Amino acid sequence: MLDIKVVRQDPQAVADALKKRGFEFDVAGFVALDARRKQADVESQNLLAERKAASKQIGALIGQGMSVDDAKAQVNETLEKIAAQIDDLTGEAKQVQAELEDLLLAVPNIPADEVPEGASEDDNVEVASWGEPTALAFEAKDHVELGEALGEMDFETAGKITGSRFNVMYGNVARMHRALIQFMLNLHTGEHGYSEIYVPYIVNRDSLRGTGQLPKFEEDLFKLETDQGYYLIPTAEVPVTNVGRDRIFDDAELGEQGVKFACHTPCFRSEAGSYGRDTRGIIRQHQFEKVELVQFVRPTQSDDALEQLTGHAEKVLQRLNLPYRKVILCGGDIGFSARKTYDLEVWLPAQNTYREISSCSNFGDYQARRMQARWRNPETGKPELLHTLNGSGLAVGRTLVAIMENYQRDDGSIEVPEALRPYMGGAEVLSA
């Protein structure tokens, strides 16, 4: 959530900054609500002063010849009226404050200055690339054709079990999927300094509100039909980032590079806004898996931390020898809570294009303010908001797709990347 103090200071400047996203901030609505809140505060302060003055009038009334009982009765009557007015104003102030918070909960983060202008993914800017797009000496098959020919991808059975946008994997393809998870976790915990964490796959509304999924994206979530208000997680970002909710980290806990978690979870998304897109195969499914990287850092560290986190995700692709490019998202494509995002896009020969395989974002203090995730600054001794970051390191299913398509052979077999062979019992090739 945006800092309400910053918005109050110059709401028009905030509106101008949000135009980069194509978002229209309701300046007039905010100013009107804030004026109501200020007026309620002023009137409350005036009534408090009246109450203080009234409570001192008993002696003066007695001095004017009124009996003690009558003086007390008159003053008490005045105090009761003032108390009732104060209660009314306090209730109004709380209501207006709640309306202000609801308004700001629906406002996205302000993009960083370096985020490029643009309206859609077509305006994202490539900043780096690694490897050359795979050139096959034969017509490339996509992962669906390859997987079905191996007898190890079964969309028909998944449709019978559940419905569309689900998958059943068997044998070596299923084993490679598992191998990728192990490989990614070992790389991030062994070389990149992350602590592995296991979290619930079901979260409450407060957790989703804390990371910015609610109230904006409720239609994209799977809500459970229970009285507790539970949801299936859309990404490990939600439960892992909420580890810091309502918490104050000691400076020593942050160490030199902050708190860094790596987490493998399934993810569940209704994909309400993407009907008709990527319906073939496992590019965009209702259930998929990721290894997620989450960091809590001091505000002065988050810009550098984003570069490092993105590099950690890139290292997975490099170890697997998968060609990719790195793009910075434009204002019109950046996520709701992010202030800056890099996407990593892997080369898919069957589509003859790059496709997203990881998004790595710096959220600044946007999520931390919603969650009250803080650290105690040793220089001031006071709690201050942390900065949060996360990124996929990587999306497991899409990595599997990239391997199948980039490592395919003319006979339909698939070479196993060297980095994965220790996790595959030494297997070098997947074949029917």
Binding site members for L-serine: 235-237, 269, 292, 390, 392
* 3-state SS track over 169-232: ECHHHHHHHHHHHHHHHHHHHHCCCCEECCCCCEECHHHHHHHCCCCCCHHHCCECCCCCCCEE
Local structure of residue 235 (DSSP, 8 states)? S
β-strand partners of 266: 289
**Pair 269, 220: CB distance under 8 Å:** yes
Which residues, in sequence order, are CB contacts of 292 under 8 Å at separation 6+? Answer: 235, 236, 237, 240, 262, 263, 264, 265, 390, 391, 392, 393
CB-neighbour burial class of residue 226 (10 A; exposed 0-12, middle 13-18, buried 19+): exposed
User: Whole-angstrom Cα distance, residue 429 to residue 416?
Assistant: 5
Amino acid at 412: G
47 CB-side CA count, 13 A: 19
Binding site: which residues? 235-237, 269-271, 292, 356-359, 390, 392
Binding site for ATP: which residues? 269-271, 356-359
* 3-state SS track over 99-153: HHHHHHHCCCCCCCCCCCCCCCHHHCEEEEEECCCCCCCCCCCCHHHHHHHHCCE
User: Whole-angstrom Cα distance, residue 309 to residue 242?
Assistant: 19
